[in-house]
Structure 1
Amino acid sequence: MEKIRDAILSGEWTAVGDLDVPDHYRAVTVHADEVEMFAGLETRDKDPRKALHVEDVATPELAPGEALVAVMASAINYNTVWTSIFEPLDTFGFLRRYGRTSDLAKRHDLPYHVVGSDLAGVVLRTGPGVQAWKPGDAVVAHCLSVELEHPDGHNDTMMDPEQRIWGFETNFGGLAELALVKSNQLMPKPAHLTWEEAASPGLVNSTAYRQLVSTNGAAMKQGDTVLIWGASGGLGSYATQFALNGGATPVCVVSSPQKAEICRRMGAELIIDRAAEDYRFWSDPDTQNPREWKRFGARIRELTGGDDPDIVFEHPGRETFGASVFVARRGGTIVTCASTSGFMHSYDNRYLWMHLKRIVGSHFANYREASEANRLIAKGKIHPTLSRVYPMDETGQAAYDVHRNVHQGKVGVLCLAPTEGLGVTNPQLRAKHVDEINRFRGV
């Protein structure tokens, strides 16, 4: 791995194709024999630092249509938090089910799971049949792993019954020195970004793009009012940028003055600090409070000059979903991609059916959507929201910070890259956008 790293750091990226592939590498893992370690604890009390290990693992066999990537940097997503606390299910069930589908898929069914659904790095090897990529290519990876052997996937690959999230429902993820991906997960690394900056948008940027912009999601248009929960977080920070770029008006919901300031730095003007205004959408664990929905809706109309949201960008789930359905305008859309506060949602259906609203489920993105989202990053139209970077040995702490919501934007992890700030090949474009690139740093 040292020779591979040194070749990349020297700028001789194509030279990696002439180097031997090591038979092992360092990776961040969870262990199958530890899935009960947090039994009986509340979700908040489960500590990713206890479950995530950094250790040597065997290099997997490279199959047709796949690529082995030397990972310079990766990032933390909430699916890594779920994996590390074994909620709502341990991920070894995913690996077992995948392993039963084919002889090659059996590689993924192991007593350890290499996690991580983002990367930026350099292609080291490609398997038979790969034509679009070659050793030495600087790449990022989106996290859709799909077999594409079923007709349902050929209009929208997210509809394929064998669609999985790489590094969560498959093994050999991006929080490692090497990663195994399908070649159709690869996209060009934005040349003006460092390795850690380029690694951070992948999952959340693509997810927000499909959820908000794509016709498979809310199909946002100019003039829309968009309510964005967690607008300074990993998903919300990209939704806020998409809304501003697309001629919509974001109403940013945050939980602190510090997070409100980040939204202002992105250009948002309409901001609700839900903590300062003390919205309590649940009277007790079993009872929602419609009076708070109404107070929240009135606050939105106060900010917008009387407009209700055309689109509600949902991902907190149980805690906020009743309010989201209530405040959306007549005929509006509630689009949801996650449930970080709980999966069992409840809402007053009268406000859905009688006001002709719709709920749209959105899950990650297909290759085209991910590529369009990455292209916007590469052109400097959308910017990374990286706030902090950890060495790979401290991935557990990085995941803990995301679990406890003490982070802003995205949290990065250095893998083969020895320091931050490396990998830029278009300094001219970077100079034009350096303030936007860095606006989340140190916050």
Structure 2
Amino acid sequence: MQQILDAIQADDTSSADFAALELPESYRAALVRKDEVDMFEGLTTKEKDPRKSLHVEHVALPELGPGEALVAVMASAINYNTVWTSIFEPVSTFGFLERYGRLSELTKRHDLPYHVVGSDLAGVVLKTGPGVTRWKPGTRVVAHCLSVELEDPDGHSDTMLDPQQRIWGFETNFGGLADVALVKANQLMPKPEHLTWEEAASPGLVNCTAYRQLVSRNGGDMKQGDNVLVWGASGGLGGFATQYALNGGATPVCVVSNEEKAAIARKMGAELIINRSEEGYQFWKDEHTQDPKEWKRFGAKIRELTGGEDIDIVFEHPGRETFGASVYVTRKGGTITTCASTSGYMHEYDNRYLWMNLKRIISSHFANYRESWEANRLVAKGRIHPTLSRTYQLEEVGQASLDVHQNKHQGKVGVLCLAPEEGLGVRDEELRATHLDKINAFRGV
């Protein structure tokens, strides 16, 4: 691995030189073990500690198949799916690997007694499998996390509809929290060259998810002038939703939980901010009963900020806790887009406010290759910026995941893999200097 790192840091190594590098038989990787899936039995979700289940070990380099690439990973990042994997909730991911392994002789590689996790990366292509023509050894890349087979017709209008659609590093093995990752070549995209390795790795999953959910015609189809309600506006998803609203001529109404998070939203350029702690909203009277009076009070606050206008699009991801309020405050004919349920999957809302006012609920899950490419292109152009707040070493992946699990983070938490330190990998210093304040908006928070 040191020879590979030296070649990357030399910055003038040719593609032929990269192709000639000897690949290691094994590499460092963050993983969970199949024989430990019951280790947290009897504990509450909050009590489950990723530091106990995530291990950094050497694993065998996987066989490279057709249409695939091996990438030297300079940096990666933590997503909630890594947290879910590490605490074995809502189910163990080894079930995903077993089902994938039954698909073909090639996919059997993924069904192992360990699961290498991680759904983000920035790095350098080391080797490509048969049939790959676009990506050459030595190419600096980032990866999106959509893994598809595309042998069924359903996925050919929108690859997210492929029956064999999976999230790489969550529902497949050999993810990005490692020194080497195995990806399909159609996951690769050019690295934004004004960003460091850790900055370039951090947008991936959440940036592409936010793009489809809010901007794409498959999601909210946002237009100029729309009022967009963004829950968790300073978080990993919400931070990008806020940027897309501002970048696209919409007006984000940013919901945050404290003044520190409100300050981040203002740094991004948002002006309409609702601090939930200050306002004291209690959308649920108890575990089973919501309070429509609080929905109404919330809607009144929104209209106070917008000059009397209601919400055109709700960017929903908290789920159960907020969904009733989201449906209520959306304007007649408006849209609620949902991509997650971090506070609970069983959503409840008053359907009268939906059907009688012709509102729409649109489900959104990650993004297809085209949407991911567009989202990454906007990052590369300096229109959308990373939300990286802190970076850990790969050996500290358990602590990084615990931070996210306990919601002690802002934006995205990065992880250095092969990169020996932060701040490396920038080639376009001029573009970087233009946007340095925005790039660092979440740093140290």
Normalising by the smaller structure, the TM-score range is: over 0.9
RMSD of aligned Cα (Å):
0.7
Which sections of structure 2, spanning at least 5 residues, go unmatched?
none
Per-residue CA distance 1:383-418 (angstroms, 9 max, x = gap): 111000000000111111111111111110000000
Which sections of structure 1, spanning at least 5 residues, go unmatched?
none
**Aligned-partner residue type, residue 342 of structure 1:** G
Q: Which residue of 1 aligns with 2:319?
A: 317
Which structure 2 residues correspond to residues 175-324 of structure 1 after superposition, within 5 A?
175-324=177-326
State the 1:42 CA deviation: 1.7
Q: Which residue of 2 aligns with 1:391?
A: 393
Which structure 2 residues correspond to residues 16-415 of structure 1 after superposition, within 5 A?
16-415=18-417
| Alignment partners' CA distance in 1, 2:193 and 2:172 | 28
User: Could you say what secondary structure the match of 1:272 adopts?
Assistant: strand
State the 1:12 CA deviation: 3.6
| Alignment partners' CA distance in 1, 2:49 and 2:289 | 29
State the 1:357 CA deviation: 0.5
| Alignment partners' CA distance in 1, 2:60 and 2:280 | 50
| Alignment partners' CA distance in 2, 1:42 and 1:288 | 24
**Aligned-partner residue type, residue 5 of structure 1:** L
- Normalising by structure 2, we get a TM-score of 0.99
State the 1:286 CA deviation: 1.4
State the 1:203 CA deviation: 0.5
| Alignment partners' CA distance in 2, 1:394 and 1:279 | 36
| Alignment partners' CA distance in 1, 2:303 and 2:43 | 40
| Alignment partners' CA distance in 2, 1:66 and 1:270 | 45
State the 1:17 CA deviation: 1.8
Matched, 1:422 2:432: no
Give percent identity, aligned residues only.
Answer: 76
Bigger mean CA deviation after superposition, 109-118 or 274-283 = 274-283
| Alignment partners' CA distance in 2, 1:25 and 1:316 | 36
User: Could you say what secondary structure the match of 1:57 adopts?
Assistant: strand
User: Could you say what secondary structure the match of 1:411 adopts?
Assistant: strand
| Alignment partners' CA distance in 2, 1:330 and 1:170 | 41
| Alignment partners' CA distance in 1, 2:149 and 2:344 | 30
| Alignment partners' CA distance in 1, 2:280 and 2:5 | 50
**Aligned-partner residue type, residue 420 of structure 2:** P
- Number of paired residues? 443
| Alignment partners' CA distance in 1, 2:112 and 2:319 | 32
Q: Which residue of 1 aligns with 2:5?
A: 5
| Alignment partners' CA distance in 2, 1:244 and 1:109 | 43
Moved over 6 A (4+): none
Bigger mean CA deviation after superposition, 263-272 or 283-292 = 283-292
**Aligned-partner residue type, residue 2 of structure 1:** Q
| Alignment partners' CA distance in 2, 1:294 and 1:90 | 40
State the 1:275 CA deviation: 1.5
User: Could you say what secondary structure the match of 1:295 adopts?
Assistant: helix
| Alignment partners' CA distance in 2, 1:307 and 1:169 | 42
| Alignment partners' CA distance in 2, 1:29 and 1:254 | 33
Per-residue CA distance 1:265-298 (angstroms, 9 max, x = gap): 0000000111221111111111111111111111
User: Could you say what secondary structure the match of 1:206 adopts?
Assistant: helix
**Aligned-partner residue type, residue 291 of structure 2:** N
State the 1:24 CA deviation: 0.4
Per-residue CA distance 1:295-330 (angstroms, 9 max, x = gap): 111111111111111000000111111111111111
User: Could you say what secondary structure the match of 2:423 adopts?
Assistant: coil
**Aligned-partner residue type, residue 24 of structure 2:** P
State the 1:16 CA deviation: 2.5
User: Could you say what secondary structure the match of 1:282 adopts?
Assistant: coil
| Alignment partners' CA distance in 2, 1:42 and 1:229 | 25
| Alignment partners' CA distance in 2, 1:421 and 1:84 | 28
Bigger mean CA deviation after superposition, 102-111 or 429-438 = 429-438
Per-residue CA distance 1:343-383 (angstroms, 9 max, x = gap): 11111111111111110000000000000000000000101
| Alignment partners' CA distance in 2, 1:352 and 1:111 | 46
**Aligned-partner residue type, residue 133 of structure 1:** W
Per-residue CA distance 1:240-259 (angstroms, 9 max, x = gap): 00000111000000011000
| Alignment partners' CA distance in 1, 2:428 and 2:111 | 40
User: Could you say what secondary structure the match of 1:332 adopts?
Assistant: strand
Bigger mean CA deviation after superposition, 144-153 or 287-296 = 287-296
**Aligned-partner residue type, residue 299 of structure 2:** G
| Alignment partners' CA distance in 2, 1:83 and 1:327 | 34
| Alignment partners' CA distance in 2, 1:351 and 1:45 | 38
